[in-house]
Amino acid sequence: MNNENMNTKPSLLSHAGASQQFLALIGLCLISGFIVSLVGIVIGLLLFDLNFLKLGTLMKETWKPGVMGFLKLSQFFSAIGLFVLPPIILVWMRGKPVFSELRISVKPHAGWVLFCMLLMVVQLPLINGLGALNAEMVFPDFLKGLENWMRVKEDETGVMTKAFLDMPTYLHLAEALLVMAVIPALGEELLFRSAMQPIISKWTKMPHLSIWITAFIFSFIHFQFFGFLPRFLMGAFLGYLFYWTGNIWYSIAAHFVNNGLTVVMYFLVQHKYIEETTDDLGVGQGSFPEIAVSLALAVGGIMLIRKKFGRNYPMPAN
């Protein structure tokens, strides 16, 4: 018996195929998301002295003492359970080293991390323009029920986002950055890019298709369908960053900037340091030049990254 076989330890999913791994990952998201979210809710209710029986109305009573603290804490636990833990548990169940398999241990180049972050910033007019176009989506009459449901989900998410972006102090800014930027960037990239994308690649035998399928799932699970298109394309961009570099930190950095910049800009507007956020870039009449320049810079930056790294990270064979 050779050393490789002697060092291989049996695990639940050590011989599982791609389809089994995909189903296991989805199952882990559901189970871990439910359990950790429940733990967060219990801790939040006790910590902020809230009534469990009124749990369903808390989203409509964000002005009450302790409610926003509870919602932020619940969101934190939910994100950990839904995004961060499942890919880690899956790799452990496969008997693989977690940090190397999820490409966490790969040290990024600081200059290229900054470049990826700036590249995300220059894409804002393009993203906003696509978002404005997507928001005007109108369904045919026989799908009006679906459209109404989508708009209700959009409105609910908008109300929650607005509440989270109410930041009277720097402490609230830090809380918002943690809940809306740091944890989503880390967790969603680990789940979708580090774990799901390689599994789908192995399943389909088509790495590029896996990037777009993962981007579709990534955009869909946010349940903000009138912003689906820009999020879908952003997911593809993050997927290619990971595919080309084999380093998840570039995708995490770009994702963090996309979320974090919104939080910081809203904070600055609320405290009258600036008059408007970057949300207006690429929106409205006369915005075509902004979008065109944004598109050109984005394409040029993407090509430069592709040329620099000069290879495709091989998706795991097992």
Structural domain includes residue 280: yes
As for how many domains the chain has, the answer is: 1
Alpha carbon 156 to its chain centroid, in Å, reads: 19
- Residue 46, domain member (yes or no): no
Residue 117 falls within a domain, yes or no? Answer: yes
What are the tokens at 112?
Answer: 């290229």
Range of the domain at 256: 102-309
- Measured CA to CA, the distance from residue 189 to residue 238 in angstroms comes to 8
In a domain, 267, yes or no: yes
Q: Is 47 within a domain?
A: no
- One pLDDT digit (tens) per residue for the chain, 318 residues: 444 444 445 577 777 888 999 999 999 999 999 999 999 999 999 998 887 767 777 767 777 778 889 999 999 999 999 999 999 999 999 989 999 999 999 899 999 999 999 999 999 999 999 998 998 888 888 888 888 888 888 887 888 888 899 999 999 999 999 999 999 999 999 999 999 999 999 999 999 999 999 999 999 998 888 889 999 999 999 999 999 999 999 999 999 999 999 999 999 999 999 887 777 777 877 788 999 999 999 999 999 999 998 665 555 444
- Inside any domain, residue 40: no
Taking 3-state DSSP, the helix, strand and coil percentages for the chain, each rounded to the nearest 5, stand at: 75, 0, 25
Residues 6+ apart with CB under 8 A from 47: 69, 70, 73
The answer as to whether 55 is a domain residue is no
CB 301 within 8 A of CB 119: yes
Cα dist from 316 to 148, 202, 246, 309, whole Å: 42, 7, 11, 19
Longest dimension (CA), the chain: 71
61 inside domain: no
